[in-house]
Amino acid sequence: MCCFCITTSILYRYGLVKGKKIITENKNFTSYGYFGIPYASPPVGELRFKEPKAPSKWFGIRNSDSFGMSCIHNATKNKKKIDESKISEDCLFINILTNYHCILQGNCSVLLYIHGGQFTYGGSDNLDSEMLIDNFVRRDIVVCTINYRLGFLGFSMINHKLSNISMNTNVGLFDILQSIKWIHDEIDNFGGNKRSITLMGHSSGGMLANYLYYSKRSENLIEKFILMSGPMRTGYFKDGNEAFSREIIKMTGCSFNTTNWDSIENLEQILKCLRNLDAKKIIDAQRLVEDSGLQIYAPSFDRGNNSFLEYDIQYLIDNKPKKPLLIGGTLYEFVDGENCFEGNSTKVIEKNVQTYCKYMCSFLDFKNTTVAVSACENEYKEDYFKTLDMTSDIEIFLPNLRQCYENWNVDSDTYMYKFIYDKMEKTLDTYHKWLPQHASDIVYITGQHKNIFSEIDLKIQDKYSQIFANFIKTSNPSDTEIHFNKFNPNLNNFYEINFDSNGTLVGEMKNKYKDEAVKFWNVKLVQLVGKYNITQYEGKFNEINKEKLLVGSTVKNFTELSYPPTYYHQNIKPKVYSSIKDSKGAPENATGVTFYVVFFLTLFSMLIYILAKNCRRNQNLKYQVFN
């Protein structure tokens, strides 16, 4: 950490903030940090599931020398123990790292970094501030990091057909958008230039940045983008996260077996119930649903009123803005294809290859899925390294290329890279057989997964981060020693990043990025089964993904969900449901509801008839008496 800290203050429109002076241990560089500044009001109560509002002003000096709370989460995929004293629903904070030159002279380029965590966990406090200072602030770049809502609280979807209910979809994306608006309004107070903002993210953070790239809401707010191992993936689900969200709602007791999911009135009752629950109950329900095999795969492709994207995805692709892009990743990425081999051998388990191929093909809508899966098996089972890269092809590598093609179509300057340096066994805090894989390289950018840094690692950190700093400042990653060429779809060219034993950059341009995967998915498969749709519904994917998650896992079966007793209206005997099979989107128990409605209406009509008859009889008696 820093050698010593001295307080310093900055005034902006919401109040006075007191940060701290930081001198880094590695580069002995002096910077100023302002942490835990609210960029939005707490998203609680009526603001839960709604786009964020501007923060309130405060009087006096706000102490901003430490991180604010991370957004509340309890995800199955998070292997780290959660410190509940550091998470909260009141979590929409921004952190700013700057230097004396930027504050004095102003006009420094700005980097907003979006953390990853599979949309369900993580926070800005997981990033190494000193490394961000050495990599970027030292080069006169103002760095911003943020928290945004996660999991069900950030990316829920109750009914993809109805957009006129009292919630916004993808509020996690709305949070990031609000932070960008805040930066536009305030960053000049910290020495930044609002007209030179780069949005950068890794993994799911990169995917979120990619969504903002497409969005018309942010088109005039961001100048350029960096996507690290996190492009928008292949295939777009019209009803993304709907099954996941409904299962969580059932577990919280806010819906019943009689709930009509197509009724606005029913959905408003659900939202009212959810807003009255403690946030911990909601995230604990999310944990149970994740343990059953359902998960958030990506933000939903929402459209219409109260949505983030607003428009159909094909319209957004066809009208993509012209923005500079730096995109890439590591040599191996996910390497979960190793689950398709017997032990440490190279012998393929064909059943597992078939499962992975069904998973890969479930992203797309084929006319003949059986033929597509069979072709996939034949393509991937014969080559060890192809098998290793199976899911990476469809989730990272080909989507990277697709983004490059789309950018080239609108004449945007685009640069692609591949990080292949593999001497990182002691550098990372976790052993990996295959290096570099997903998230290996960010140890040199944000300090995540850092173990022990040698002098060589420090050299690599300096040179690797230079590539990104160049792009942030000039829209081009090149300099006198680093020579990128713009992406050319006729070459599928990319810059290969490696380092020698002295930590010297050994980089060169290469062609035919993932050429065999491109030929299979874009040529061979199309010849076999015809063109496929990129949009479909999520149901098939959810079932196959559950099967895929069990391949190579120590978990042999997922937890089956038992709904709370309140779920069963009208004394129907409780039973255990499989969370995958019970999410079809149609009104539940509609026949039973109709029967009871007809029965009670008939009973009510008979009662009215009897009362009316008695009333007429009494009237006749009265008339006769008075006669």
pLDDT in tens, 410-467: 999 999 999 999 999 999 998 899 999 999 999 999 999 999 999 999 999 999 999 9
Q: What is the percent of the chain with per-residue pLDDT over 90, rounded to a whole number?
A: 76
Q: What is the pLDDT of residues 134-158, one digit of tens each?
A: 999 999 999 999 999 999 999 999 9
pLDDT for residue 239: 92
Contact 467, 418 (CB under 8 A): no
Judge whether residue 482 has pLDDT over 80.
yes
Distance of CA 392 to the CA centre of its chain: 17
pTM value is 0.89
The pLDDT tens digits for 488-501 are 999 999 999 999 99
DSSP 79: -
The CA-CA-CA angle for residues 220, 402, 545, to 5°, reads: 105
Instruction: Give the three-state DSSP class for 134.
Output: helix
- 581, pLDDT greater than 90: no
- Decide which of 177 and 618 is more confident: 177
Q: Answer whether residue 607 shows pLDDT above 60.
A: no
How high is the pLDDT of residue 539?
A: 84
Please say if the pLDDT value at position 578 is more than 50: no
- Burial string for 275-296 (b: 16+ CB within 10 Å, else e) reads beeebeebbebbbbbbbbbbbb
pLDDT number for residue 9:
75
Identify the bridge partners of residue 192 per DSSP, sorted by sequence position: 108
CA distance 461 to 1: 17
Mean pLDDT of 510-537: 93
Q: Decide: 256 and 219 in contact? Cβ < 8 Å.
A: no
At 554, the pLDDT band (50, 70, 90 cuts) reads low
Which tokens belong to 617?
């009889």
Could you say which architecture CATH assigns to the domain 7-234+299-339+389-510?
3-Layer(aba) Sandwich (3.40)
Domain boundaries, the chain: 7-234+299-339+389-510, 340-388+514-550
Q: What pLDDT is stored for residue 558 in this prediction?
A: 81
The 10 Å Cβ neighbour count of residue 614 is 10
Average pLDDT of the residues of the chain: 89
